[in-house]
Amino acid sequence: MKKLKVFIIMSLMMIFLVKPRTVLAKSLGSFQPKMINENSNYRIYQKLTRKGPAGSMGPARTFKYGNFQANAVRKVGKSKYYYVWIDGHKAGWLNQRAFLRDKIDVAKNVSLVKNSHYSFPTRDAINFATDSTGTVIDPDKVKASQDEVLSNNAGKHKIKFSYGKARAHIVVEVRSNAHEGVAKANKTGQAGKAASSWFKHYKTSGNWGKGASYAPETKPHVLKSNLLDYRHISINLLL
């Protein structure tokens, strides 16, 4: 009897020590859009244990064109892991280092035609911006050294962006030719040919109304005017 008790106790100890136990995660208030770092080698895992991730499902960069979102986070050791969804489907746990963190990505070139009636909003040059966790943020939260560039002021304008530790800059060029793209409208107007429409036909359709079969129209109605050719097929539905 004593040997049996010792065996049971030892078996329980082995299960406790050997079998990795899953860990609880903190649910996020809402789904966080994440930007993946396509150059990282981090993998997606099925579950997290107290010893680390388990059940590799493949490298995250395989889905670099997917839409990543996270709805839970858990710290294991010194690393943070987020439970991610890809294109609306459950994927698994991914190390935070797999995301692009503290990043502001901007357009390479911004060149404007000289125009006294237009101002360029500088934040429109931002492709995306992320915080320290790799979460995509609203571009309006990014600080800009200049909110807009007046396109009547020819020359190059350097704009600096910052958010947390993230930094970026662009050069907005306003070209000097004020007549660029301006053309004179010198074509003489021409009258189009007269045409009659089929509008009355809607009210007199033989397939609709009292005693009708409610069958759909099968012949197209055509309206031609000059070089334009409009075709319409009316389909009646019985709801």
Q: How far is CA 95 from CA 37, 63, 69, 194, in A?
A: 11, 15, 13, 69
pLDDT of res. 60: 94
Q: Which one-letter amino acid corresponds to residue 189? A: G
- The closest alpha carbon to 70, from 40, 47, 43, 91, belongs to 91
Give pLDDT, residue 10. Answer: 53
Q: What is the per-residue pLDDT for 28?
A: 77
Nearest to residue 99, comparing CAs of 50, 132, 145?
A: 132
- The 10s digit of each residue's pLDDT in 110-157 is 999 998 889 999 999 999 999 999 999 999 999 999 999 999 989 999
Quick check: 6 pLDDT over 70? no
pLDDT for 135 equals 96
Residue 26's pLDDT is what?
72
Element (H, E) at 227: none
Reading the block at residue 85, the tokens are 């969804």
The proportion of the chain whose per-residue pLDDT surpasses 90, expressed as a percent, equals 54
Give yes or no for residue 208 having a pLDDT over 90. Answer: no
Residue type, 158: K
pLDDT above 70 as % of the chain: 71
DSSP reduced 3-state for 4: helix
Q: Which of 125, 128, 126, 147 is nearest to 137 (CA)?
A: 128
Query: Which residue spans within the chain are E strands per DSSP?
Result: 26-34, 43-49, 52-59, 68-76, 79-86, 89-95, 104-106, 110-112, 119-121, 126-129, 143-144, 148-150, 155-163, 166-174, 221-225, 228-232
Backbone angles phi, psi at 6, to 5 degrees: -65, -40
Q: What is the pLDDT of residue 180?
A: 83
List pLDDT tens digits, range 10-66.
Answer: 555 544 444 445 556 678 778 999 999 999 999 999 999 988 999 999 999 999 999
In this prediction, residue 211 has a pLDDT band, given cuts at 50, 70 and 90, of: low
* φ/ψ bin of 94: left (φ > 0), alpha (ψ from -120 to 50), beta (otherwise): beta
What's the rounded Cα separation, in Å, for the pair 79 and 100? 16
Mean pLDDT, rounded, for 79-99: 95
Rounded to whole angstroms, the Cα distance separating 235 from 22 reads: 59
* DSSP assignment letter at 3: H
